[in-house]
Amino acid sequence: QLLESGGGLVQPGGSLRLSCAASGFTFTSFAMTWVRQAPGKGLEWVSSISGDGVITYYTDSVKGRFTISRDNSMNTLYLQMNSLRAEDTAIYYCVRGIFIMDVWGQGTTVTVSS
Partner 1 sequence: DVVLTQSPLSLPVTLGQPASISCRSSQGLVYSDGNTNLNWFQQRPGQSPRRLIYRISNRDSGVPDRFSGSGSGTDFTLKISRVEAEDVGVYYCMQGTHWPRTFGQGTKVEIK
Is 45 an interacting residue with respect to partner 1 (CB under 8 A)? yes
Cα 42 from Cα 51, distance rounded (Å): 27
For position 59 contacting partner 1 by CB under 8 A, the verdict is: yes
- Provide the residue count of the chain: 114
**Between residues 10 and 91, which has the closer beta carbon with respect to partner 1?**
91
The least CB distance from residue 11 to partner 1, in Å, is: 27
CB 110 within 8 A of CB 89: yes
- Residue 54 makes CB contacts below 8 A (sequence gap 6+) with none
**Interface stretch with partner 1, choices 18-26, 67-75, 80-88, 102-110 (CB under 8 A):** 102-110
Judge contact between 18 and 109, C-beta under 8 A: no
Which residues contribute to the site for partner 1 (CB under 8 A)? Answer: 33, 35, 42-45, 48, 57, 59-60, 93, 97-102, 104-107
